[in-house]
Amino acid sequence: MRPALGIVLGVTALRWLLLAFDATDLYVDEAQYWLWGQEFAFGYYSKPPLIGWLIGAVTTLAGSDSVFWVRMPGAALHGATALILAAWAARRLDGRAAVLVAAVYVTLPMAALGSLLISTDTVMAPFFAAALYFHHRLTETRSRRFALLAGLAIGVAFMAKYAAIYFLIGVALAALRREGRIGWVNAGLLLLAFAVVISPNIVWNLNHQLTTFSHTADNVGWVRQDNPLAALHPMGAVEFLLSQFAVAGPVVFGALLIGLWQPGRGAGLWPFIVPPLAVVTVQALLGEAQANWAVAAFFAGSLLAVAVLSGHRRWITASFVVNGAIAVIMPLLVIFTDISLDGKVKLLDRQLGRASFTNQIIAISRQNGNLPIYTDNRDILADLFYTGRDAGLTVYATAPKGRRPENHYEQRYPLPDGLSGPILVIATTPPDCTPTPTPIALDPMGGAYSKWGRAAYIVDVGCLYAD
């Protein structure tokens, strides 16, 4: 483990150093996670609570809410995941494989990106990996201690992202082989520990109209349709599978696929790889799927890829060259943000201009007596709360009259009844007021809002109620 530790510490330290020069703004999801961290709860609108707790704890201990401290845990979490997988590889394969697994995982494109943007996948990763390790120890020893530890670990992973449920599917599939069976008592203990850990989030959802579960169903989409096959999209499945070559790197994902076709290599590992890939491929076939929705496959997948590549020096070298280059390029892109392929649109356009746009809105509000601000756009709301955290201004979202809230801001900060006086509205078209309000121009600064054409309008709040 010493060489593995050295590799991971070196990569993590370098990532932190480069992150200190990050010139991008928080993305909309990151800003939302930061806001969750300002108010402890056992659940939030669209995700389980662990990411909010983590960001809240780190920024509190650091005494800073800067972009660096919000994103800082990412590199550490992926580093920890790499070491846990190395420990698993040392037991399942050998010492050389442990070093390779640590190096392969920590240089995966998904780990490189997850070290630059804080996400629920990243927070889930080390706990999912720990559950895999403890499950392996459980199959070796049948010790009840490891059953409880596996249940606790995957419970914490579930509190980061519901995709952790793939582990339980994997445990059931692993039991198809005698070597993968853990016994009914241990299975019960594992599930009991899992249930205890996740119970606060379950209770929170029951008390909040199953908000998080409903949002997850909205993302799946087809489950709410009368005809689930209505949006059948074969190319969507193909596109999703091709995107996995970018998530894990072309050599690693190629080796993983080869390993799945070789029963001897994939035995014991495929139950934790195939379900995420299969489920999300079906989702892509029936609706839409994001490339990162199957990252749970690449924890066990890293071991399988190394098992295939370890005997082929040229291929594993090629893997480190390709993924290593990506791992270096990614943090450089967030430092040198003016890079553009066509000379017009910057590569990281979506992560630029958010803070400057928000500061323009804050300035208009202050110039007009600290007007409260209203908008129906989640991106703008997210950054108003983050960039405007010390501005002392009131921000409102649309009030969800007669329907479920569509985002966290509608749930927690809806425009209340009974307000009076002027309010600053940020919208693409003028509010339906008489007389028609005069637009106040906002400069998108060539960033995330460059194509939106939004302006600011000062109106009487009464016209918003009428509208």
* 18-51 per-position pLDDT tens digit: 999 999 999 999 999 999 999 999 999 989 999 9
Does residue 217 have a pLDDT over 80?
no
* The pLDDT of residue 226 is above 60: no
Predicted local distance difference test score (pLDDT) of residue 215: 72
Q: Are 284 and 328 in the same domain?
A: no
Q: How much of the chain is helix, strand and coil, in % rounded to 5? A: 65, 5, 30
Q: Are residues 88 and 129 in the same domain?
A: yes
Gap between the Cα atoms of 447 and 309, Å rounded: 42
Query: Domain range spanning residue 252?
Result: 221-306
User: Does residue 294 sit in the same domain as residue 416?
Assistant: no
229-247 b/e with 16+ CB inside 10 Å = b?
Answer: eeeeeeebbeebbebbbeb
Residues 452 and 380 in one domain: yes
Residues 313 and 273 placed together within one structural domain of the fold: no
Cα distance between residue 188 and residue 183, in whole Å: 9
Residues 294 and 311 in one domain: no
- Predicted confidence at residue 275, as pLDDT, reads 97
Report if residue 18 sits inside a domain.
yes
pLDDT at 227: 59
The answer to whether residue 181 sits within a structural domain is yes
Residue 350's pLDDT is: 86
In a domain, 141, yes or no: yes
Average the pLDDT over 104-128 and give the result: 97
Using 50, 70 and 90 to split pLDDT, how confident is the model at 376?
very high
256/360 same-domain check: no
pTM recorded for the entire structure:
0.93
**Does residue 222 carry a pLDDT above 60?**
no
Is 143 in the same domain as 55? yes
Residue 21's CB: how many other CB atoms inside 10 A? 12
DSSP assignment letter at 437: P
The amino acid sitting at 345 is V
How sure is the predictor about 402, in pLDDT bands with cuts at 50, 70 and 90? confident
How far is residue 300's CA from residue 174's CA, in Å, rounded to a whole number? 13
* Count of structural domains, the chain: 3
Same domain? 199 vs 289? no
Task: Please tell me whether residues 377 and 419 are part of one structural domain.
Answer: yes
Residue 341's pLDDT is what? 75
Average per-residue pLDDT in the chain? Answer: 92
In the predicted model, what is the mean pLDDT of residues 241-246?
A: 96
Indicate if 241 and 123 belong to the same structural domain. no
Q: Is 216 within the bounds of a domain?
A: no
**Average of per-residue pLDDT across 417-445:** 90
Residue 219 pLDDT > 70, yes or no?
A: no
Q: How confident is the model at residue 453 (pLDDT cuts 50, 70, 90)?
A: confident
Q: Are residues 111 and 139 in the same domain?
A: yes
CB atoms within 10 A of CB 435: 6
Asked whether residue 344 is assigned to any structural domain, the reply reads no
